[in-house]
Amino acid sequence: MKEIELIATTTFGLEAIVKEEVRDLGCEITGVENGKVTFKGDLKTIPRANLWLRSAERVLLKMGEFTATDFDELYEKTKALPWSDWLPVNARFPVQGKSVRSELYSVSSCQSITKKAIVDNMRERYHRDLFDEDGPLYQVQVALLKDRVTLTIDTSGEGLHKRGYRELTTGAPLQETPAAAMIKLSRWDEDRILIDPFCGSGTIPIEAAMLGRNIAPGLKRNFASEDWPNIGKSLWGETREEARDSIKAELEPRLIMGTDKDDEVIGIARYHARKAGVEDTIHFQTKPFAEFSTRRKYGYIITNPPYGERLSDRVEVEELYREMGRKFQELDTWSYYILTSHPNFESIFGKRASKRRKLYNGGIECQYYQYYGPWPPRAR
């Protein structure tokens, strides 16, 4: 099949990280906009992108893009796209839609017109009037922004943050995709210690361990396009096998650490690490932050502490931030990276960040405060 165009969707603020991940796959970037990175590849790029992108949310097959200001135009231009090159005769192809500042503002009407256009395209190809739609899933999306229509098919199924290892839940968990992005933004290197003193269910240490050992984040889950006949099980199998072969041996023991005051939560973190295949790489320990200390030098702290979103928790959280400031600033050879939504974090923490970046955690607008420490001296 000829060259195809794909879209990696992402939460706001992670576009640059996803762009870097796409480029690491060897793909040509064709566009970067809010919430998405567009790139070119071949058929094998679909399984590779789904298996390897750590910070993206979905991988969409871009079917076409055009301007439409009335329903006739939407129908004709949609029908002209090569739907039957991708959709088999028994395909399930529900249509989702969204419209922002467009003449065609009725989402339900846009969905209906798009569905009719695809059906008519398939009628001409398969020479039949009815389709059972009992085969593989091809989730179609029609997205309109200022009269510009983008038509895609979702190759992922569930969002890419669903790695397959986090089965148990805790209060206010950090999703896997922003956790991976936090680690990548820190430029952490796998030969340096990393500690998360508020690790909760273990997402940051687990994502770090997977990154350090070059474990593809999608290796333990399934994707919608695995059932697509024009990709085939063999191509998916080949790509998975290549990913397994690229896994590195264990990192140095105890190099990655996660602590939390809740013993039950630490038990969940250990379970998730075991599911992810990195239980021997991470040391989890029940420890309140008041007991936090380390004798190691030139390490990283990457953490997502409590935010104090409820007023009743605000005083306690602000005292915690003061304690964090006292303890972290004593580690003058360390780098520390902190995600929080608290608007006055820097003044409470007692130090201005080297850099800050807006990120979103579960729809909450946060700042990622980055404090750069010195690099360790070069070995002679």
DSSP summary character for residue 367? E
DSSP summary character for residue 369? E
Is 117 buried (19+), middle (13-18) or exposed (0-12) by CB count in 10 A? Answer: buried
Residue 325's pLDDT is 97
Residue 210's pLDDT is 96
Q: How many CB atoms lie within 10 A of CB 292?
A: 16
Residue 253's pLDDT is 63
CA dist 48 to 59, 218, 231, Å?
10, 9, 12
Selected residue with higher pLDDT from 169 and 30: 30
Give tens-digit pLDDT for 215-265: 999 999 999 999 999 998 999 999 999 999 999 987 776 689 999 999 999
DSSP summary character for residue 177? H
Residue 251's pLDDT is 74
Residue 128's pLDDT is 93
Q: Which residue has the tokens 């986090």?
A: 166
Map residue 245 onto helix, strand or coil: helix
CA dist 79 to 53, 110, 123, 146, 254, Å?
31, 13, 11, 21, 57
Give tens-digit pLDDT for 53-76: 999 999 999 999 999 999 999 999
> Is 361:178 a contact under the CB 8 Å cutoff?
yes
Give tens-digit pLDDT for 261-305: 999 999 999 999 999 999 999 999 999 999 999 988 899 999 999
Q: How many CB atoms lie within 10 A of CB 107?
A: 16
Q: How many CB atoms lie within 10 A of CB 362?
A: 11
Selected residue with higher pLDDT from 378 and 10: 10
Residue 232's pLDDT is 86
Q: Which residue has the tokens 């088999």?
A: 88
Given a cut of 90, is residue 314 above it in pLDDT? no
The residue-averaged pLDDT of 108-131 equals 96
> pLDDT category, 379, cuts 50, 70, 90?
low
Distance from C-alpha of 150 to C-alpha of 143, rounded to nearest angstrom: 5
Mean pLDDT for the chain overall: 94
Selected residue with higher pLDDT from 362 and 366: 366
Given a cut of 60, is residue 88 above it in pLDDT? yes
Q: Which domains does the chain have, with CATH numbers?
A: 4-154 (3.30.2130.30), 176-216+249-371 (3.40.50.150)
> pLDDT category, 168, cuts 50, 70, 90?
confident
